[in-house]
């Protein structure tokens, strides 16, 4: 099949009904594509936003439907055939077909893989159902428990951003919260020891108990079925939870692609224009893409909302241009997390060995901005409650800036 641009007679099949898949469909329509677009998701819901699950939905501030990204009106505007609740089970790149759990086999001229990730799980006995806050069902269940009016003992395994957001939501609602983290410093592998420790201190300031360097030995039944459990730590400590939440990371949804011939390595391996083959692309959390940054090209899989959105736009441009004329994705990773009344934000992506320096504010001030540098270039910027200053750096970081240039942008 030709690697050229799609035409109005072509059919684009998007496997996955999340943000990246939706933005691909939007980008195609915005780019003038009038052909057939089919989107098939494994969940029984239309595309929805995941960040509110551990924030506004968990606290009951939003009804679940407010997180929906493509209701019936928007679906009709985009003229997308949407099929929910049918998981992909196999891909045949030669025939350009995808087989689904229902038995349906769908053919297309172009296929976009947007199947995202699934939560990692811990072994638990039958009858114990910890929440992972990765699905709409989990978010709604969490809200139902946390807003029930009864103070609960909430145990959260994992002090990453999702775990910390749930801890914040539970503490705000008056629950007794304990967070268990395997690392000695929460978020240390992402932010580095100094900034990770500062973020870890946010828990104690709000009365949340944080245990680091902890290993979960086993989980057994506890009170409050179906979400209660007893957590046994290797130290001998035993924690009783009326609500157990597990946030220990995710894995890319690629099992259905085994045997397809696509290169799978911590995701679907694609080039810098998101092509896995001339006619198959992958976007969002499931894509391990060739990322241009700081003068190098590195295979990278990034689980950020903004990257998923940017991938959708890039995939649409790539399909409209064809592989031969498509342009590399211009990606500057960005994420944010709302915890305990403060906003954590990062532009870029630091690596182990990067130098980090707080250039504005301090932990004592309650707000700060830090720069990560690799060689002479800024690799990332991290802020606590300094959104305006952080966003001032976006254009310079997209262009590739030195520390001196970043400081000049900040007026320092």
Asked if 286 and 210 sit in the same domain, the reply is no
pLDDT of residue 51: 93
Query: Mean pLDDT, to the nearest integer, of 116-144?
Result: 93
DSSP class of residue 326 equals P
Q: Closest Cα to residue 168, out of 126, 202, 131, 134?
A: 202
Whether residue 332 is contained in a domain is answered as: no
Does 50 have pLDDT greater than 90? yes
| Least confident stretch, 23-32, 100-109, 329-338, 380-389 | 329-338
Whether residue 404 is contained in a domain is answered as: yes
The total domain count for the chain is 3
The helix/strand count (H/E) of the chain reads as 10, 25
Asked if 102 and 160 sit in the same domain, the reply is no
Whether residue 5 is contained in a domain is answered as: no
Asked if 286 and 354 sit in the same domain, the reply is no
The pLDDT tens digits of the residues spanning 77-117 come to 999 999 999 999 999 999 999 999 999 999 999 999 999 99
Question: What values do phi and psi take at 80, rounded to 5?
Answer: -110, 130
Listed in order, strand segments (DSSP E) in 46-132 are 80-83, 88-92, 97-100, 105-107, 110-113, 117-119
The pLDDT tens digits of the residues spanning 294-318 come to 989 999 999 999 999 999 999 999 9
Domain-terminating residue out of 248, 264, 292: 248
> Using an 8 Å Cβ cutoff, are 12 and 28 in contact?
yes
Asked if 280 and 176 sit in the same domain, the reply is no
The pLDDT tens digits of the residues spanning 187-225 come to 999 999 999 999 999 999 999 999 999 999 999 998 876
Burial of 103 (0-12, 13-18, 19+ CB in 10 A): exposed
Whether residue 6 is contained in a domain is answered as: no
Asked if 242 and 125 sit in the same domain, the reply is yes
Local confidence band at 330 (pLDDT 50, 70, 90 cut-offs): confident
pLDDT of residue 183: 96
Query: Mean pLDDT, to the nearest integer, of 264-285?
Result: 98
What is the average pLDDT score of the chain?
Answer: 95
Asked if 31 and 43 sit in the same domain, the reply is yes
Whether residue 336 is contained in a domain is answered as: no
Asked if 188 and 240 sit in the same domain, the reply is yes
CA distances from 351 to 191, 206, 331, 356, 375 (A): 9, 30, 16, 10, 12
Domain boundaries, position 49: 11-118+251-321
Asked if 50 and 26 sit in the same domain, the reply is yes
Query: Mean pLDDT, to the nearest integer, of 31-45?
Result: 97
Asked if 297 and 210 sit in the same domain, the reply is no
Whether residue 326 is contained in a domain is answered as: no
Domain-terminating residue out of 248, 270, 303: 248
Whether residue 327 is contained in a domain is answered as: no
Whether residue 2 is contained in a domain is answered as: no
Asked if 32 and 112 sit in the same domain, the reply is yes
Query: Mean pLDDT, to the nearest integer, of 387-404?
Result: 96
Helices (H), 173-326: 188-191, 193-205, 305-321
Local confidence band at 2 (pLDDT 50, 70, 90 cut-offs): low
Asked if 22 and 69 sit in the same domain, the reply is yes
Structure pTM? 0.96
Domain of 379, CATH number, reads 3.30.390.30
Asked if 370 and 309 sit in the same domain, the reply is no
Does 3 have pLDDT greater than 80? no
Domain-terminating residue out of 224, 248, 272: 248
Does 176 have pLDDT greater than 80? yes
Domain of 47, CATH number, reads 3.50.50.60
pLDDT of residue 169: 95
The pLDDT tens digits of the residues spanning 368-377 come to 999 999 999 9
């Amino acid at each position: 099949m030709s690697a050229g641009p799609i035409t109005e007679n072509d059919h684009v099949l998007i496997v996955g009904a999340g943000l990246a898949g939706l933005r691909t469909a939007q980008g195609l329509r915005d780019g003038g594509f009038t052909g057939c677009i089919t989107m098939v998701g494994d969940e029984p819901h239309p595309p929805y936003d995941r960040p509110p699950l551990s924030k506004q939905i968990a606290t009951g501030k939003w009804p679940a439907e407010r997180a929906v990204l493509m209701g019936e009106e928007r679906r009709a505007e985009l003229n997308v055939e949407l099929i929910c609740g049918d998981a992909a089970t196999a891909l045949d790149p030669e025939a350009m077909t995808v087989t689904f759990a229902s038995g349906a086999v769908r053919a297309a001229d172009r296929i976009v893989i947007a199947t995202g990730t699934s939560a990692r799980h811990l072994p638990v006995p039958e009858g114990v159902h910890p929440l992972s806050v990765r699905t709409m069902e989990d978010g709604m269940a969490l809200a139902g428990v946390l807003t029930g009016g009864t103070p609960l003992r909430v145990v959260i395994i994992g002090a990453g951003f999702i775990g910390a957001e749930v801890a914040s939501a539970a503490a705000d609602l008056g629950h007794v919260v304990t967070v268990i983290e395997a690392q000695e410093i929460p978020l240390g592998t992402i932010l580095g020891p100094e900034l990770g420790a500062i973020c870890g201190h946010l828990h104690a300031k709000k009365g949340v108990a944080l245990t680091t360097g902890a290993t979960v030995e086993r989980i057994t039944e506890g009170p409050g079925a179906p979400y209660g459990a007893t957590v046994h730590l290797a130290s001998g400590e035993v924690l009783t939870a009326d609500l157990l939440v597990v946030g220990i990371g995710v894995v890319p949804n690629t099992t259905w692609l085994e045997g397809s011939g696509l290169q799978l390595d911590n995701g679907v391996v694609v080039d810098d224009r998101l092509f896995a083959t001339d006619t198959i692309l992958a976007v969002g959390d499931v894509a391990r893409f060739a990322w241009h940054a700081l003068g190098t090209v590195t295979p990278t899989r990034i689980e950020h909302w903004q990257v998923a959105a940017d991938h959708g736009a890039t995939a649409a441009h790539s399909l409209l241009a064809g592989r031969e004329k498509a342009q590399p994705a211009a990606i500057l990773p960005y994420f944010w997390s709302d915890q305990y009344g403060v906003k954590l934000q990062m532009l870029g992506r630091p690596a182990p060995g990067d130098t980090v320096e707080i250039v504005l504010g301090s932990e004592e001030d309650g707000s700060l901005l830090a720069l990560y540098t690799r060689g002479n270039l800024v690799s990332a910027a991290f802020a606590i409650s300094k959104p305006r200053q952080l966003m001032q750096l976006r254009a310079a970081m997209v262009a590739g800036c030195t520390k001196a240039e970043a400081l000049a942008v900040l007026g320092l």
